[in-house]
Structure 1
Amino acid sequence: MASGEYELALTSFSRAALDQGMTTELLTSMGTANLGLRRLGQAEELLRRAIEDESAWPIAWNNLGVVLMEKAEYPEAEQMFRRAFALDNGESDAILDNLRLALAKMENPVNTTPEKQEYTLEQQGDGQFMLRKLP
């Protein structure tokens, strides 16, 4: 996934699921790969299953928040980022930045239409995604 080969990553995760079962880590990874492919519906479903299975993993909460931001569902995204930030004990700058962006989008709804957004996904080294403003 670090090289942007999300389809290849999905194939690998599917194979791993056959051996290990559908673990929370695999659900999160598959959801994250779908997010990278902009398959937001599939990503959301997998990430919601991941947080149901293991509600204390901040990466799943953060990445679900990113999916919701991409879908312009800012209030729910903000809740996901808050949960991720709390579970991470405030240690992740990426989660904090995503939370700040969600709050800003909620405060200024004028610029919240998807076609006007000037943000891109940036994958962090630990499997989290961060929303970055385009130059």
Structure 2
Amino acid sequence: MREQNTPIPTLLKAIAVAAAMAGCVPDRIPEPKDGTFAPGVDHRKAAEDGLEVGNRLMAAGQHELALEAFTRAALTEGLTPEILTSMGTANLGLGRLGQAEQLLRRALKEDDTRPEAWNNLGVVLMERGEVKEAEQVFHRAYALDNGESDSIRDNLRLVQEKSANPDKSVAQTEAYKVVQRGNADFLIRKNP
């Protein structure tokens, strides 16, 4: 009569072989002779500021990672107007216009003296086709900035141009592109 192979005895044999083989492995992996190896983590050093990390990631075009960094910053610092503006800008970069608009409006409700928040809200409104409100928002951003930012001035000029010619075709409307400038600043630019 043949012996049946049941799963449990087979599994026990496999475990015994694996344990015996593990005893044949050297205790540690040898370090490279040229001294190149990954450094350890310094747990004594303070962690980098989440807002700073998020701004760097935004500059690198990593909007999803930046949003995660801003969320971590919100855990330590709270939902400050600066963090809300940054989160709104990251969502704008990801094309999440509804979320971006909500966050930017919330940031402006808490602190309405931030020209970059007004500018980014204007970009969201332009992308949504709300030209009249976008024009008012860009005027506010321009006034708060005292006309010092080229991107806000350019956005205001473009929205005024669009407002003056509302009968443009869809192809002409799509000739505008949102471009990030700086850490939390977007510029609407015509495509070449």
* TM-score normalized by the length of structure 2: 0.68
RMSD: 1.4
Q: Given that residues 71 and 114 in structure 1 are in contact (C-alpha distance below 8 angstroms), is that contact kept between their aligned partners in structure 2?
A: no
Structure 1 unaligned blocks of 5 or more: none
Q: Which moved more, 1:102-111 or 1:119-128?
A: 119-128
1:43-91, Cα deviation, whole Å (9 max, x unpaired): 0000000111100010000000000000010000001100000000110
Q: Does residue 121 of structure 1 match 2:158?
A: no
1:66 lines up with 2:123 in the alignment = yes
Whether the 8 Å contact between 2:119 and 2:152 is mirrored in structure 1 is yes
Check whether the contact 2:59–2:183 (CA below 8 A) recurs between aligned residues. Answer: no
Distance 1:115 1:12, change over 3 A: farther
Q: State the aligned residue count.
A: 135
Pairwise CA distance, 1:110: 1.4
* Larger relative helix fraction: 1
Partner residue of 1:11? 68
Separation in 2 of the partners of 1:114 and 1:20? 44
Alpha-carbon distance between aligned partners in 2 of 1:71 and 1:54, rounded to the nearest angstrom: 24
Structure 1 stretches of 4+ with a deviation exceeding 2 A read 112-116
Aligned position for 2:147: 90
The residue identity in structure 1 corresponding to 2:114 is W
What aligned pairs does 1:19-98 form with structure 2 within 5 A after superposition? 19-98=76-155
**CA displacement at 1:19 relative to structure 2:** 0.6
TM-score by length of 1: 0.95
**Contact map agreement 1:72 1:113 (CA 8 A) in 2:** no
Q: CA deviation at 1:115?
A: 8.3
Counterpart-to-counterpart distance in 1, 2:114 and 2:96: 22
Identity of aligned pairs, percent?
60
CA deviation map 1:22-62 (0-9, x unaligned): 00000000000000011000000000001111000100000
Gaps of 5+ in 2: 1-57
- Does 2:164 align with 1:107? yes
2:147–2:153 contact (8 Å) kept in structure 1: yes
